[in-house]
Structure 1
Amino acid sequence: MIRLSSPQSIRLRSRLAAGLALLTLAVTTASADVVFAPFFRDNAVLQREKPVPVWGRADPGEKVTVTFQSQKTEATADDMGRWSVTLSPMRASSTPAELVAKGKNTVTARNILVGEVWLCSGQSNMAMTVNRTLDADAEIAGAASYPLIRHFKTKLTSAALPCDDAEGAWEVAGPSTAGGFSAAAYYFGRELFKALNVPIGLLNSSWGGTQIESWMSPQALSADPSWPEVVQRWQDEMKAYPAKAAKYEIDIDQWNKARATAKKEGAKFTTRAPRKPDGIGSRRQPAALYNAMIVPFLPAAIRGAIWYQGEANAARNAEYRTLFPAMIRQWRADFGQGDFPFYYVQLANFGRGTSWAFQREAQGYALKLPATGQAVTIDIGESADIHPKNKQEVGRRLALNALANTYKLGGEFSGPVFDGVSKEKGALRVKFTHAAGLKTKDPALPGFAIAGADKKFISAKARIDGETVVVSAAAVKDPVAVRYAWDNDPPSPLYNGSDLPASPFRSDDWEK
């Protein structure tokens, strides 16, 4: 069993794991064909206006020549069989071209475009496909108009060690393919295409039900203050694994027998199969998805990343305050392109969430980093479905961040954001940024609560006054704190003139 203990030992094991992976690569690439890394396959989009690393494998010492458009560059595979070249920055191009690597053999990636490339990651709401969204049939048919949007779906894979390869393929958007695209990514990319009119590449590495720890490198995890708790949970899971695995074998055997009996008798069988427990190398192992679904694409040239995750960490929201920014910093360091844009989706409203108000707040800690932004979705969730179908608006709100802040096209990209509170005559006046045209979609303006020094929150009356909101309650003579939409599934009627919702907030820092 692999044990994860101190930060020092995990860093050492990480280095040993990387060395083992390279050693294995050297052995397996003896007399190997020249091959591209997984990013460089038919239908790919290369990032415009940046140096573009292109890499792959060959025999150690083999000379490899890479050509694309008018560029030609050479490299020699190192002792581990890895070669790498860098293409000079290119303008966007929708004219298909071939990317060719030639050594003892020739490998060609066809129908390659140059445009904007975004990494799209997270859990099930990023993985959710277009064919499950609102107006799916019309959206899929409409994809015929967007052949310059390309989508790469990384196969769901976890690994205890860093991987050099990944399964997946670039697909051209169209009626026969778009239904299987990440919906949030596709609708985001479609908005970018409409505004920029350049090819869009969407690199989708996402997996439902996954924790942020699995998407982080061992180095980033071991440096985080939450590391002792993270590693202890995993060790506890591993201790419990043998008993869970034994029980699973009994349960799955009984389930198979019951299903066979129902089939024989012509009866309906709706019992779900027992869930196989997670062990070493599973999606729940810290760093396992980073190893298998991020590392193979390093250091591809990308414009930025979008992220749709947090539900699986909501019960441990205090940890997320540091883990999320740490992951962003780590990915930026790994891709080696500075502080690339990173935009994420704040958790939507959901009736069965656990501590989701605090998790939304924890997500907001990432906004302290440069070039970050969030798409607030508190108004477009579904109380009884953790996978809301309106991914069109999710993609649009993510795109507003990118268009305004990455591409400098202007326009409002955020709803009202809490900017302080002041006392006046038994009431609190709440100030906001991004509040031009402040309005409510419910005249009663529900969702606000205030508390006095006793820390007991009660519903408050609220009224809009210019770009502020004044809140009060007869039972709270001396209010000291205000909260808005501070619940798992709250009313959220406050918007700005751009019809973007106010982000949930609180003025206090109390534990509950």
Structure 2
Amino acid sequence: MNLKKLLLMLPAIAGVIQAKADIRLPDIIGSNMVLQQQSRVKLWGWADPYEKITVKGSWDDKVYETTGTRDAKWEIELQTPAAGGPYTISLQGKNTLLLENVLIGEVWLCAGQSNMEMSGSWGLQDIQKELPQAHRQELRFFHIPKTTAAFPQEQVRGQWVVCDSNTLKTFSAVAYFFGKHLRQKLGGPVGLIEAAWGGTAAEVWTPDRIVNSSPVLKKAATLIQPSGMCPFIPGSAYNGMIAPIVSYTIAGVTWYQGENNTDAAATYRPLFTAMIDAWRLAWKQPLPFYYVQVAPFRYKKINAGALLREAQWQCRVIPHTGMVATNDITGNVNDVHPQNKHDVGLRLANWALADHYGRTGIAYKSPEYKSMSVKGAKAFIKISGAEAGLKLKGDTLAEIQIAGADKVFYPAQAVIQGDTIVVWNTKVKKPMAVRYCFTDTAIGNVFSSAGLPLLPFRTDRWAFPGF
């Protein structure tokens, strides 16, 4: 190679060298993002080994410094102020990055399967009504595309966007209504991260080491029915969609999933518990976890939905969790996708406001079964969370059954007396068990005085064939 050709190539060579030296960020960190307020939030990325990097947020005068590792990685923690913005963040290494329109507020991860994924593009009317006034500068979205991986990843593709009539069309409707209500009640910015995939079982969102280390969970995972539309290998969605963002500080998680675990309802409680524990361990904090009970639907395996809902109800004892009921808001039990996402998002938000943010005067807990006593031929069902009494929508209390020692259930007559439901049937002389909305398709009509539906329940623990 002659000298002339070498001189011509030098600028290109220098450009390649300079490009390799640039500090780089994962997509989850960028302009338009929301950072968790009043927290030590982490920024991280890649750079040359031992490259010196300085970071400064425009909300104060503090300059943070760090040095890249020998593995060409770097990370740094910044202290964020109270909710506000917009701000800028400058990052200086061998190159300079400027992140603009950054807000400080509350950040929530909204995850699950299709009922969390559903957006305006699915034809939801409650979202269509929102579009004309959808521009909300202090509500931001980050949508994680469907991604799987055999091992935990460090990067997800995507970008933070401002909520408007275009970005809302393809973002989770449940997440949007959740975030909109938080924004209205808290008064500060809200950032929402969507990680949802229709048809996925909870196993794919749980680290595979957790599933494979438990003989019970490992066996249950074999019952997942492979689909051409979604993954079925344990940990695959976690590795591709959750692991890359565990360093991003969030306030908590909302979760809407369960339909694809109905064939193994008996193991959903230990599985969901293990998944929550794994996520909390990954984030290194006891994240609040608010989830949605699956709605009435005609499953192929009879009683699968009822037992899955019971398993979800049992998970409410996990600290700092809360469950939203949906047995009153579906209009078609042949459609696994209820159209009413507004009330689901609102109920999730009320759980967060009351349980996590300590707001008072909010009705957020559905009434639930407490105890049963028997007097003669009548069963008296005590309901907790109904101190102000229960109310009935309609003339007759629906979807309630009673059985004696023969375990044969009959449709029951029932009346409400304050926070108690009195149940009987002339064919049952000595009641042994009562069930309310304990079928796959049952739609309830008993509510608290605040309008929240009574959770499905059964007083017995009798076995269901095939489960």
The offset of 1:100, in angstroms, is 2.3
Contact preservation (8 Å) 2:126, 2:342: no
- TM-score norm. by structure 2 comes to 0.90
User: What's the Cα RMSD here?
Assistant: 1.9
The offset of 1:32, in angstroms, is 4.6
- Write out per-residue CA displacement over residues 448-467 of structure 1, whole angstroms, 9 at most, x where no aligned residue: 11111111111111100111
The offset of 1:230, in angstroms, is 4.3
**Which residue in the other structure is 1:481 paired with?**
433
Q: 1:448 to 1:232 in 2, by over 3 A?
A: closer
Q: Which among 393, 397, 404 is matched to residue 441 of structure 1?
A: 393
Question: Matches of residues 417-496 of structure 1 in structure 2 within 5 Å?
Answer: 417-435=368-386, 436-496=388-448
Q: 1:141 to 1:30 in 2, by over 3 A?
A: closer
Q: 1:226 to 1:140 in 2, by over 3 A?
A: farther
Q: Which among 36, 55, 69 is matched to residue 66 of structure 1?
A: 55
Query: Partner amino acid for 1:39?
Result: I
- Write out per-residue CA displacement over residues 284-320 of structure 1, whole angstroms, 9 at most, x where no aligned residue: 1110010000011012111100000000111110111
Contact preservation (8 Å) 2:83, 2:188: yes
Q: 1:88 to 1:290 in 2, by over 3 A?
A: same
**Matched residue pairs, number?**
439
**Which residue in the other structure is 2:152 paired with?**
162
- Write out per-residue CA displacement over residues 25-51 of structure 1, whole angstroms, 9 at most, x where no aligned residue: xxxx99352112222122110001221
Contact preservation (8 Å) 1:30, 1:59: no
**Which residue in the other structure is 1:341 paired with?**
288
**Which residue in the other structure is 2:267 paired with?**
319
Query: Partner amino acid for 1:421?
Result: M
Question: Matches of residues 358-437 of structure 1 in structure 2 within 5 Å?
Answer: 358-381=307-330, 382-410=332-360, 411-435=362-386, 436-437=388-389
Contact preservation (8 Å) 1:299, 1:336: no
**Which residue in the other structure is 1:175 paired with?**
165
Contact preservation (8 Å) 2:140, 2:162: yes
Q: Percent identity?
A: 38
Structure 2 residue runs of 5 or longer lacking an equivalent are 1-17
- TM-score norm. by structure 1 comes to 0.83
Secondary structure, aligned partner of 1:73: strand
1:41 to 2:30 alignment = yes
Aligned mates of 2:237, 2:70 — CA distance in 1: 27
Aligned mates of 2:214, 2:22 — CA distance in 1: 41
**Which residue in the other structure is 1:24 paired with?**
none
Q: Which among 71, 78, 94 is matched to residue 80 of structure 1?
A: 71
Please say which of residues 113-122 and 420-429 is displaced more in the overlay: 420-429
- Write out per-residue CA displacement over residues 424-462 of structure 1, whole angstroms, 9 at most, x where no aligned residue: 121111111111231110221011111111111111111
Please say which of residues 301-310 and 221-230 is displaced more in the overlay: 221-230
The offset of 1:63, in angstroms, is 1.5
The offset of 1:368, in angstroms, is 1.4
Contact preservation (8 Å) 1:114, 1:199: yes
Q: 1:413 to 1:232 in 2, by over 3 A?
A: closer
1:501 to 2:445 alignment = no
Aligned mates of 1:344, 1:56 — CA distance in 2: 32
Secondary structure, aligned partner of 1:360: helix
Question: Matches of residues 186-205 of structure 1 in structure 2 within 5 Å?
Answer: 186-205=176-195
The offset of 1:228, in angstroms, is 3.1
Q: 1:163 to 1:506 in 2, by over 3 A?
A: same
Secondary structure, aligned partner of 2:174: helix
Q: 1:397 to 1:72 in 2, by over 3 A?
A: same
Please say which of residues 33-42 and 119-128 is displaced more in the overlay: 33-42
Aligned mates of 1:68, 1:83 — CA distance in 2: 17
Please say which of residues 102-111 and 288-297 is displaced more in the overlay: 102-111
1:330 to 2:278 alignment = yes
- Write out per-residue CA displacement over residues 246-284 of structure 1, whole angstroms, 9 at most, x where no aligned residue: xxxxxxxxxxxxxxxxxxxxxxxxxxxxx74x8xxx721
The runs of at least 4 aligned residues of structure 1 exceeding 6 Å deviation read none
Q: Which among 171, 174, 183 is matched to residue 184 of structure 1?
A: 174
Question: Matches of residues 24-35 of structure 1 in structure 2 within 5 Å?
Answer: 31-35=20-24
**Which residue in the other structure is 2:8 paired with?**
none
**Which residue in the other structure is 1:215 paired with?**
205
Question: Matches of residues 143-162 of structure 1 in structure 2 within 5 Å?
Answer: 143-144=134-135, 146-162=136-152
Contact preservation (8 Å) 1:353, 1:488: no
Contact preservation (8 Å) 1:185, 1:202: yes
Secondary structure, aligned partner of 2:233: coil
- Write out per-residue CA displacement over residues 485-509 of structure 1, whole angstroms, 9 at most, x where no aligned residue: 0111113000011111011011111
**Which residue in the other structure is 2:244 paired with?**
296
Structure 1 residue runs of 5 or longer lacking an equivalent are 1-28, 238-274
Aligned mates of 1:30, 1:362 — CA distance in 2: 52
Aligned mates of 1:284, 1:51 — CA distance in 2: 36
Higher helix share: 1
Contact preservation (8 Å) 2:21, 2:94: no
Secondary structure, aligned partner of 1:419: strand
Contact preservation (8 Å) 1:46, 1:52: yes
The offset of 1:89, in angstroms, is 3.9
Aligned mates of 1:227, 1:326 — CA distance in 2: 10
The offset of 1:231, in angstroms, is 5.7
Secondary structure, aligned partner of 1:31: helix
Query: Partner amino acid for 2:269?
Result: R
Question: Matches of residues 230-269 of structure 1 in structure 2 within 5 Å?
Answer: 230=220, 232=222
